[in-house]
Chain A
Amino acid sequence: MSGLLRIALKLLLNDRGKFVTLVIGITFSAFLMTQMTSMFSGILHQSAANIINVGAKMWVMDPAVETPQNSIPLPNYVLDAVRSIPGVKFAVPLYIGAGLVKLDDGTYQAATIIGLDDATLFGRPTMIAGHILDIYKNNAFIMVKDANYPKLNSPRIGTSFEINDHRAVVVGLAHTAIPGLFGLPTLYTTYTRATEDLPPTRYQISYILVEPKSRTDILPIEAAVHHLGYLALTDREFIARNDRFYEFKTGMGTNILMMTLISFFVGLSIAGETFYMFILDNVEHFGALKAIGAKSRELIQMIVFQALVVGFLGFGFGVLLSSGMIALAKLKIPNYAAMVTYLTLVLALVMVLIISIFSSYIGIRKVTRIDPFDVFRG
């Protein structure tokens, strides 16, 4: 580190009151920004749980569908039509619906029921107890052992209960990548049983899961499904569509954005004000440095360096605090929807850098305007 930057660092660190205020201000701001964006990321991620857990490359749906939770049933002929599209390696139906589980103690608990294609069981979860083929037994259901598992009184293999007045027997326990957003337990069964047990509508296929022969077949398949009057999306496109729904069609995105901006402005005002006071305290000394022979760009380097030091420290502490809070919350609430992603980190870092640049800018304006003659004039 050059001597000038060392001097800048000592000036900053030795003014403990302002240094601590600056770091706390930016830490607080970075913490809130990371917390807000992480919560939103977690919500988006968990709202796409079915897409991620089922793991199909392409999904065919009604064009009005915006999230995987709100499917609009498709007529059976669409499945045949999709299967006949060139480039489709195979296509299978998927049922996603909600069932009402009556527990031993007489209470009811809503649950997500996923009906897998009987022939292929495509989209099946990873088994942790029992065998997947047991799903073909009478009244068989496979229970997902996630954060919502205790809501059905933590059933074991052989436990039975009623789903929509039909007998259901747990034949296996499974694991999925992520829990759903709405805190419902998840049960897998065959497509046939799901459509028999749950209240039928005129059409029953929630989604058609498609495996293209190759990546180059994706666009032609999408076009062909569009020609049928339906919508085919890759898993990524479906996740993006789900994200857009939560971002723009619910108040959630706006609220999170507002809270993030408020956190940004709080950090900006605390850091800007304190840094300005710090520069004001040293302004005559900076003037003396100029008189001695310091060039303006050297003073600018010192100020930018000081602002970046407090910026990066505040960012680091803020992210640490936020990650700690999320980890702590997940210990108590296992399906707490928050996740720190690279995007949330980059977003918080960019905002902290803007705070640092703004703070240093007002300091730089002050210092570059000092006339060394004023140091003589007093």
Chain B
Amino acid sequence: MLKAHGITKTFGEGPSRTVALRDVDLSVDYGEMLYIVGPSGSGKTTLLSIISGILRPDAGQVVVKDRDIWTLDSDALAGFRLQTIGFVFQDYHLFPRLTTTENVAIPLILRRESWEQSLAQARRTLRIVGLETKEGLPPYKLSGGEKQRVAIARAIVSEPDLLVLDEPTASLDGETGRMIVSFVKENILNAHRAIVIVTHDSRIYEYATRVVRMEDGHIIPGGG
């Protein structure tokens, strides 16, 4: 469902120029839970941003569901992300002044679905992640694991084809982290969806269907 070819990305100019990605190829299929792992600065977050249509590469091509996403203009690309990709950010980025239900409903509201329908769908999704009792609470009243599940609910509420998670266990203790990733694999992953997770938490590698290892802007052949 996703093919990236020849991705190159540099930051800065002159002496401060840094090559983050060098001619990277990557493919992800439906039903896959792919981990991108590697040390800090290896380029995994940059790669995740490029394949999810957030960061424009200097060279290369990203094809998602047969569309070359970097040929789209910014509005079309935003619309494509909204329709196709669900995001789980490392720091969750939940609005503290909204309830969990309203936070989860945001992608649907951005899709111009009605307020009532969006909230109803958000409540159903919160039930899927086991947070039906937390519907009316603001995020600051939730534990780290609960916040992560709200972020996952927000990412899947619009039923995206591709789910991307950036360091999903970074702010969680080992047990909670494993529970979250296990939950994602058992309940969110299916034959019509692909999941890409950037992590350097080796405790959760066992849940991956495939692991690619990055170092210095390269994918190491056979590194998984």
Q: Which residues of A contact B91 (CB under 8 A)?
A: 284, 378
Whose C-beta in chain B lies nearest to the C-beta of A290?
B78
Least distance between A173 CB and chain B CB atoms (Å): 63
Interface SS majority for chain B: helix
Least distance between A42 CB and chain B CB atoms (Å): 43
B102 A10 Cβ-Cβ under 8 A: yes
Bound CA–CA A6/B119 (angstroms): 12
Which segment, of A157-165, A189-197, A245-253, A292-300, faces chain B?
A292-300
Q: Which residues of B contact A293 (CB under 8 A)?
A: 78-83, 85, 107, 110
How large, as a class, is the contact surface on chain A? 20 to 34
A291 B81 Cβ-Cβ under 8 A: yes
A-B contact count (CB 8 A): 86
Bound CA–CA A377/B106 (angstroms): 22
Whose C-beta in chain B lies nearest to the C-beta of A296?
B74
Q: Which residues of A contact B154 (CB under 8 A)?
A: 292
A10 B97 Cβ-Cβ under 8 A: yes
Which segment, of A134-142, A218-226, A339-347, A368-376, faces chain B?
A368-376
A3 B109 Cβ-Cβ under 8 A: yes
Q: Which residues of B contact A287 (CB under 8 A)?
A: 93
Which segment, of B25-33, B48-56, B179-187, B216-224, faces chain A?
B48-56
Q: Which residues of A contact B90 (CB under 8 A)?
A: 376, 378
Instruction: Knowing A285-B93, A293-B79 are in contact, say whether A3-B49 is a contact too (CB < 8 A).
Output: no
Q: Which of A288-342 contact B (CB under 8 A)?
A: 288-296, 298
Instruction: Knowing A14-B97, A293-B78 are in contact, say whether A375-B115 is a contact too (CB < 8 A).
Output: no
> Can you spell out 20 A-B residue pairs with CB atoms less than 8 angstroms apart?
A2-B112, A3-B109, A3-B114, A3-B115, A4-B109, A6-B109, A284-B91, A285-B93, A288-B89, A291-B81, A292-B81, A292-B106, A292-B154, A293-B79, A293-B82, A293-B110, A373-B49, A375-B93, A376-B45, A376-B54
Query: Which B positions have Cβ atoms within 8 angstroms of A?
Result: 45, 48-49, 54-55, 74-75, 78-83, 85, 87, 89-91, 93-95, 97-98, 102, 105-110, 112-115, 118, 154, 166
